Structure 1
Amino acid sequence: MDQRTLHIHDELIERCRMGERDAHYQLYKLYAKAMFNVGYRITKSEEEAEDVLQEAFISAFHNLESYRGDASFGAWLKRIVVNKALNALNKRKHELIPDDDEQWDVAEEETSTEYREDLTVERVKQCIEKLPDGYRTVLSLYLLEGYDHQEIGEILGISESTSKSQLNRAKSKLKELLNQVQ
């Protein structure tokens, strides 16, 4: 990635480090909507996503000195949002993914060329929201956020094969939900 692209907001970040409130607000405005969407896709709750967003920005601003610029600011912030969203899920005391990795088989990925007119973006979103937390989390991190299975494993504290298995199970469950007559 071009270094100019990677560090597009360096001047703004530096102003934040110096404590300029306006710079904090500008940075917030640049990233708030996208980061809210990341939080929402994981928590499935607007209220929790708003809390996640606020906590993530507070954490980011307090720890701005630790931002080294190895990745874009957006990628760094996104990782904070993902972690905060996962913490919110854990607070719900839902079991995200079973501890027993051995019980999961890695299923072969299905490919389908079937076209369906009844599938709208809204319908797919609704069905994704109906997925269990663990399935929805892995599906969101993989398909929507672009993480690979190794990264998902590190984020969630699971094996790479468990991530693959959870993704395949999420896809199967999603397909099942989409096939149900409304």
Structure 2
Amino acid sequence: MTTQQMSAAHDYAALDDAALVRCVQAGERGAFRQIMKRCNQRMFRMVRGVLQNDSEAEDVVQEAYVHAFENINGFRGDASLATWLTRIALNEAYGRLRRRRETMTIDRFETSEAASDNVLSFPNRSGGDDPADVAARAQLRHLLERAVDGLPEAFRMVYLLREIEGCTVQETATALGLRVETVKTRLHRARRLLRNAISDSIGAARGDAFQFLGARCERMTEAVLMRIGRHPGPA
């Protein structure tokens, strides 16, 4: 059976992550498209959390996917697929920072006396929430993104995984290579730094922050598939 015939035989969207991995390992590249669509948003959010640049984050995510495809036979399911991919993406992102020689250590963030000065002022929303006011919601989302960008990196990464991606404490700890207690402490500090900045509007804007849907998602997915199409397959 050809790869194209195998792809046609599966409804990849209906498969769980483990089944998708097995399909990719068997040579079904269409399954990798579904993996990317399923994980694109988290990957982009986390890499952007490190690099704070949309276009550079997109490049790094593509590199991470190619690296993941090349090493898919090494995935054993010890962590979730999303966690495995996130760690690959973060390694790529931090590698990019090291090459730019702009890396700041986590210890510096933890001991910074000026951490609370990093969050931008965010005025409270007055009046009730108006779902029809699309422009106002977009502005709130933009201000939330800027406020999260202003967090020290050590807190920002924990906040993105726990509050925006909805990961558990254990998933966050595994993805970032931290102790569970450290995750809890950093999340508490991140919330404290953001509390005055985002107030009651965070609930409405959180789910829409750092969008990675539509044209950008499709463009990046196609770019990765084109690259791996020239690849002999997973090692």
Checking the alignment, whether the CA contact within 8 Å between 1:83 and 1:155 is kept in structure 2 is: no
Checking the alignment, whether the CA contact within 8 Å between 1:39 and 1:49 is kept in structure 2 is: yes
Checking the alignment, whether the CA contact within 8 Å between 1:7 and 1:72 is kept in structure 2 is: no
Confirm whether residue 123 of structure 1 aligns to residue 143 of structure 2. yes
Deviation readout 1:113-160 (Å, 9 max, x if unpaired): xxx425933322221111122221121122223141x55455445544
Distance in 1, matches of 2:174 and 2:184, equals 13
What residue number does 2:159 align with?
139
Distance in 1, matches of 2:142 and 2:27, equals 41
Query: Aligned ranges for residues 72-111 of structure 1 at < 5 Å?
Result: 73-89=81-97, 92-98=102-108
What residue number does 1:172 align with?
192
Once the two structures are overlaid, the 10-residue window that deviates more, 128-137 or 43-52, is 43-52
What residue number does 1:44 align with?
52
Per the normalisation by structure 2, the TM-score is 0.51
Q: Give ranges in structure 1 of 5+ residues lacking alignment.
A: 104-115
Paired positions, count: 162
Checking the alignment, whether the CA contact within 8 Å between 1:52 and 1:85 is kept in structure 2 is: yes
Considering Cα pairs closer than 8 Å and 6+ residues apart, tell me whether 1 or 2 has the greater RCO.
Answer: 2
Distance in 2, matches of 1:100 and 1:173, equals 13
Q: Alpha carbon RMSD of aligned pairs, Å?
A: 3.9
**Aligned counterpart for 2:72 among listed residues 55, 60, 64:** 64
Distance in 1, matches of 2:86 and 2:145, equals 21
Checking the alignment, whether the CA contact within 8 Å between 2:46 and 2:157 is kept in structure 1 is: no
Deviation readout 1:58-77 (Å, 9 max, x if unpaired): 12101111223456544432
Once the two structures are overlaid, the 10-residue window that deviates more, 33-42 or 82-91, is 82-91
Once the two structures are overlaid, the 10-residue window that deviates more, 42-51 or 66-75, is 66-75
Checking the alignment, whether the CA contact within 8 Å between 2:63 and 2:92 is kept in structure 1 is: yes
Shift of residue 36, structure 1, vs aligned partner: 1.9
Checking the alignment, whether the CA contact within 8 Å between 1:42 and 1:137 is kept in structure 2 is: yes
What residue number does 2:10 align with?
none
